[in-house]
Amino acid sequence: MDKENTVTFKFQIPGRCVVKKNSQRVVGFGKSKHVIYSPKFIAWHKVAMLHLRQRWTDNDPINEFMKLTIRFYFANHQSEADVSNLIEGPQDALTKAGVIVDDKLIYEIHAMKIFGEEPRTEIELEMLDKPY
């Protein structure tokens, strides 16, 4: 069966996506530095992990080349983030929830912001026969 353009996984995370990059701070000094994320990002990440794990029960992590399509829905343009910053959190959640082995297997990303909608993040993974 040709795996090209076969949607393997599709789901949605409710609520407004929180940017991982802009919500972190480094504490400590020397060799004991630690990254701490904002309470808003931590809360969003917990919701994302819950939804991913509920949908991916009893499946092995994907260990193939893939294309990621991700749509970020927002009610308005308030505190609008860059698309490149928005994709980090969902990619991290996909890996930590055991949906994918490693986000380095994502060879193609299609990401978009959509406004005037109920806030949510929709994710689709498609398997690719080979990287480009």
Q: Are 127 and 1 in contact (CB under 8 A)?
A: no
pTM: 0.85
Given this model, what pLDDT does residue 80 score?
Answer: 87
Sheet of strand 120-127: strand arrangement: 6-14, 120-127, 66-74, 106-115
Amino acid at 111: A
> Each residue of 3-62: pLDDT tens digit?
455 777 899 999 999 998 765 566 667 777 777 888 899 999 999 999 999 999 888 999
Per-residue pLDDT tens digits for 55-112: 998 889 999 999 999 999 999 998 889 999 999 999 999 999 999 999 999 999 999 9
* Residues 61 and 16: beta-carbon distance below 8 Å: no
Right CATH number for 6-127 from 3.30.1330.70, 3.20.20.80, 3.40.1190.20, 3.30.360.10?
3.30.1330.70
- C-beta separation of 38 from 24 below 8 A: yes
Per-residue DSSP letters for 76-105?
Answer: SSTTPPPHHHHTHHHHHHHHHTTSBS-GGG
* Dist CA 18 CA 115 (whole Å): 15
